[in-house]
DNA sequence: AACTTTGGCAACCGCTTCCCT
DNA sequence: AAGGGAAGCGGTTGCCAAAGT
């Protein structure tokens, strides 16, 4: 009976596997180790490739939005693999590790909180929904906790208030006349900043709007993108 | 400086599901 | 329809480095 290694992968083994896959592709995991000259099980090779060697794997540095997606989807009963599908580049194993090492503890001690979904609200409210597949499948477009993001890219008071109170605008049952709803539905531009007593600076004077737009585009997509079109004003000369 | 605790991550194991014959 | 192998999934373990005492 063939014996298989059960220990961390070496650089040489990694190279062997990568070279083999780049040459022949993935055709049969159970046969692959033999052809690649590896003393590993097919299962081990598959895991090593899927969780580590695949160049599409994104490592470390979880964003606030990613964490929030994990928390919310997990709360809604989604499996690790399903969550991984919603976080391009993240593997189920990595998400699972993230959950067990960080998020479950932070949830337990109240550092982060699950936010109530407003999926149906968004679907019924918006008439500019562009891509419903995400929503209909398994992603609930809850607003992320923006507390940390605010430190980098201060937004309007409503966004900040949403995260501080752990309530998500628009709240369930409110109408589109509600200023919170208006805020979340209206295109983001300088004209749409609500200047109220509770308002704090909406654009970081140092970074300015371009950074904010990047953040909205990259971090919030596709959770806000279906509902909000970000206007790009003329560059300030 | 030495020891202990904690956190993060890679990897394994067992079970389930999928797919082909 | 049934059986068997391959692939997928989730729980768990063990290692290691960093932080704490």
Residues 6+ apart with CB under 8 A from A73: A82, A83, A86, A138, A139, A140
pLDDT at A227: 25
- Nucleotide nearest the Cα atom of A61 (by C1'): B8
How far apart, in whole angstroms, are the C-alpha atoms of residue A87 and residue A72? 13
Confidence of residue A19 (pLDDT cuts 50, 70, 90): confident
CA of A29, C1' of C6: distance in angstroms: 8
Q: Among A49-53, A94-98, A111-115, A130-134, which is the least confidently predicted range?
A: A130-134
Q: Any atom of strand B under 7 A from CB of A48?
A: yes
CA of A109, C1' of C12: distance in angstroms: 23
CA of A191, C1' of B12: distance in angstroms: 56
* Nearest residue by alpha-carbon distance to C1' of C14: A7
- Nucleotide nearest the Cα atom of A102 (by C1'): B7
- Residue A188 backbone dihedrals phi, psi, to 5 degrees: -85, 115
Q: Which of A133, A124, A137 is nearest to A185 (CA)?
A: A124
In the predicted model, what is the mean pLDDT of residues A42-65? 82
CB atoms within 10 A of CB A149: 22
Identify the three-state secondary structure at position A223: coil
Q: Which of A144, A87, A92 is nearest to A114 (CA)?
A: A144
In the predicted model, what is the mean pLDDT of residues A70-98? 82
Q: Any atom of strand B under 7 A from CB of A62?
A: no
Tokens matching residue A6 = 């059960």
How far apart, in whole angstroms, are the C-alpha atoms of residue A191 and residue A193? 6
Confidence of residue A58 (pLDDT cuts 50, 70, 90): confident
DSSP designation for A144? P
- Nucleotide nearest the Cα atom of A47 (by C1'): B11
* Cis geometry, peptide bond prior to residue A128 (ω within 30 degrees of 0): no
Confidence of residue A169 (pLDDT cuts 50, 70, 90): very low
Q: Any atom of strand B under 7 A from CB of A105?
A: yes
Q: Which of A194, A216, A212, A214 is nearest to A203 (CA)?
A: A212
How far apart, in whole angstroms, are the C-alpha atoms of residue A76 and residue A44? 30
In the predicted model, what is the mean pLDDT of residues A68-78? 79
Mark the nucleotides of strand C covered by protein, meaning any atom under 7 Å from a CB: 5-12
Question: Which is more confident, A219 or A54?
Answer: A54
CA of A98, C1' of C12: distance in angstroms: 15
Q: Which segment, A76-85, A134-143, A144-153, is predicted with the most confidence on average?
A: A76-85
What's this model's pTM, rounded to 2 decimal places? 0.54
How far apart, in whole angstroms, are the C-alpha atoms of residue A221 and residue A159? 16
Q: Among A34-48, A55-69, A78-92, A210-224, which is the least confidently predicted range?
A: A210-224
* Nearest residue by alpha-carbon distance to C1' of C6: A30
CA of A85, C1' of B11: distance in angstroms: 22
Place of tokens 């059960």: A6
In the predicted model, what is the mean pLDDT of residues A54-78? 78
CA of A27, C1' of B20: distance in angstroms: 15
Confidence of residue A3 (pLDDT cuts 50, 70, 90): low
CA of A220, C1' of B12: distance in angstroms: 36
In the predicted model, what is the mean pLDDT of residues A59-76? 78
């Amino acid at each position: 009976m063939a014996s298989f290694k059960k220990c961390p992968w070496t650089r040489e083994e990694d190279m062997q596997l990568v070279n083999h896959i780049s040459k022949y592709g993935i055709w049969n995991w159970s046969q692959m180790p033999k052809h690649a000259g590896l003393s590993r099980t097919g299962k081990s090779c598959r895991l090593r490739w899927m969780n580590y060697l695949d160049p599409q794997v994104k490592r470390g540095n979880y964003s606030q939005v990613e964490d929030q997606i994990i928390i919310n989807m997990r709360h809604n009963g989604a499996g690790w693999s399903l969550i991984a599908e919603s976080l391009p580049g993240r593997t189920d194993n990595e998400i699972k590790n993230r959950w067990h090492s960080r998020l479950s503890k932070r949830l337990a001690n109240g550092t982060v909180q699950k936010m109530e979904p407003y999926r149906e609200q968004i679907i019924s409210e918006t008439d500019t929904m562009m891509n419903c597949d995400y929503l209909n499948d398994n992603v609930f477009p809850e607003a992320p906790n923006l507390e940390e993001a605010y430190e980098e890219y201060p937004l309007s008071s409503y966004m900040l208030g949403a995260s501080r109170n752990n309530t998500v605008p628009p709240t369930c049952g409110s109408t589109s006349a509600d200023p919170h709803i208006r805020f979340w539905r209206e295109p983001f531009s300088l004209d749409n900043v609500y200047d109220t007593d509770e308002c704090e600076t909406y654009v970081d004077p140092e970074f300015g709007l371009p950074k904010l737009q990047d953040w909205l585009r990259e971090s919030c997509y596709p959770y806000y993108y279906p509902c909000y079109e970000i206007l790009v004003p003329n560059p300030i000369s």
